């Protein structure tokens, strides 16, 4: 069920034709806090790629060091090449 539901979500997101459509879809699926958290994780990745230290990122964005480390680990796996 998990993979099937994830695939369905991906297919739905890919149907968005514009930024407005995507934002409307995300706002309908997520709470304001969840959307902000996802946006914050994107900022973590961008700052890591810019060479900012994990501790500095955690302080600057008000997140735990474990959250930043998770982003760092995903980068090491080769993810976020398009960010």
59 inside domain: yes
Instruction: Give me the domain span that covers residue 30.
Output: 18-76
62 inside domain: yes
∠ at Cα 52 (50, 58), nearest 5°? 130
| pTM summary value | 0.83
1 inside domain: no
Give the count of domains, the chain: 1
Say yes or no to pLDDT of 1 above 70.
no
* CA-closest candidate to residue 61, choices 80, 41, 79: 41
5 inside domain: no
Q: What is the CATH number of the domain that holds 63?
A: 1.10.1270.10
How confident is the model over 9-65, as pLDDT tens digits?
Answer: 999 999 999 999 999 999 999 999 999 999 999 999 999 999 999 999 999 999 999
């Amino acid at each position: 069920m998990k993979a099937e539901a994830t695939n369905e979500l991906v297919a739905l997101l890919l149907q968005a034709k514009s930024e407005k459509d995507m934002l409307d879809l995300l706002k309908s699926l997520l709470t304001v806090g969840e959307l902000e958290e996802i946006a914050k994780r994107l900022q973590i990745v961008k700052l890591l790629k810019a060479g900012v230290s994990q501790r500095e990122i955690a302080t600057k964005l008000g997140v735990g060091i474990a959250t930043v480390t998770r982003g760092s680990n995903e980068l090491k796996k080769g993810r976020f090449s398009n960010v």
